[in-house]
Amino acid sequence: MATLQINNLHAKVAEEGGETILRGVDLEVKSGEIHALMGPNGSGKSTTAKVIAGHPAYEVTDGEITLVLDDEDVADIDEDVPPEKREWDLLDLEPNERAALGIFLGFQYPAEIEGVTMTNFLRQALNAKAEEREELFEDEDEAEAEEEEDSGYDTSPMEGNVDDGEIGVAEFQQLLKEKMELLDMDEKFAQRYLNAGFSGGEKKQNEVLQAAILEPAIAVLDEIDSGLDIDRLQDVSEGINALRDEQGTGVLQITHYQRILDYVEPDHVHVMIDGEIAQSGGADLAKKLEDEGYDWVREQVYETA
Ligand code: ADP
Ligand code: MG
Ligand code: MG
């Protein structure tokens, strides 16, 4: 079971004199748990998500983000994974490295890519993750040996072009079929082209499908409920529940509205106000927010300040 620990996180817009947005965020999310991160517009929810993923628009000025992995999380790695490779300081890592360790943030649409099907896109994403993951867990001696080998004249170009360990087309088709069944998605979906104009709701479902394929330890879903009609909201919610129930994914569900939490029942609810977590509680806290809004939380913050 992986644990994502965010301690005293401070972040500002990465430009000279950039605004400070996060002012000491503390949060812990484990695999298999569903956390709702709520709060008024502009409180810093999306910034939190992007800073976790390593977005270059923000600069972290204080605090830590740590990912702790246990045996189960490194079961796909051959050799015994030493202690120093079980606790990662995410702030030292590139976005793709964080993703390879098991952090998922639904990616934006690479709309400029012409003629790529969902299937190929997802297969490439999975293979890229596996390759990055191998590099991260490779021990130093091995990495050096491989580098020497790569620069050696005796390596045939044919061999060099074959990516061992890649998931092939047929094997991937099978995986995709299973995941689409799990999410109750139409198989035709996968044959569509990335630039073929998915509707808002279809994009959200795609985000869940990406998470199902990549099997992250922790998925950060930012406003996946925005603009969905009730049927699509239910589909997406069932998908999120399946991620948790069937593959043990931990979910940090960012949402402005309580509505989706009727379908994705959170274990923990947090309220962000002005770049800090001002309140945490159980599912009942979300209900109270629905009835009473955010003002009472804000008042509490500024009374005690
Ligand atoms: P939320 O997701 O809770 O609505 P955001 O994290 O998107 O809030 O934004 C928090 C605040 O930081 C807002 O006032 C927003 O305008 C500001 N902000 C976020 N990102 C940037 C940026 N890249 N440049 C300038 N201001 C930003
Ligand atoms: Mg704090
Ligand atoms: Mg936002």
User: Facing residues of 250 across strands?
Assistant: 218
User: Facing residues of 221 across strands?
Assistant: 253
Domain boundaries, the chain: 3-304
d(CA 102, CA 218): 6
Instruction: Take residue 88 and report the two structure tokens written for it.
Output: 């990662």
pLDDT in tens, 226-285: 889 999 999 999 999 999 999 999 999 999 888 999 999 999 999 999 999 999 999 999
88 CA distance to ligand 2 middle (Å) = 21
Whole-structure pTM value: 0.91
Q: Among 23, 47, 51, name the best residue to mutate to test ligand 1's pocket (greatest count of ligand atoms within 8 A of Cβ).
A: 47
218 near 102, Cβ under 8 Å? yes
Confirm or reject CATH 3.40.50.300 for domain 3-304, answering yes or no. yes
Mean pLDDT of the 209-232 span: 93
Q: Among 15, 16, 21, 226, name the best residue to mutate to test ligand 1's pocket (greatest count of ligand atoms within 8 A of Cβ).
A: 21
Mean pLDDT of the 115-122 span: 87
| Other CB atoms within 10 A of residue 122 CB | 21
The pLDDT of residue 158 is 47
196 CA distance to ligand 3 middle (Å) = 26
Q: Does the structure show a pLDDT above 70 at 152?
A: no
Residue nearest to atom 16 of ligand 1 (CA): 42
Helices 200-214 and 169-182 pack at an angle, to 10 degrees, of 120
Characterize the bridge pairing of strands 34-38 and 268-273. parallel
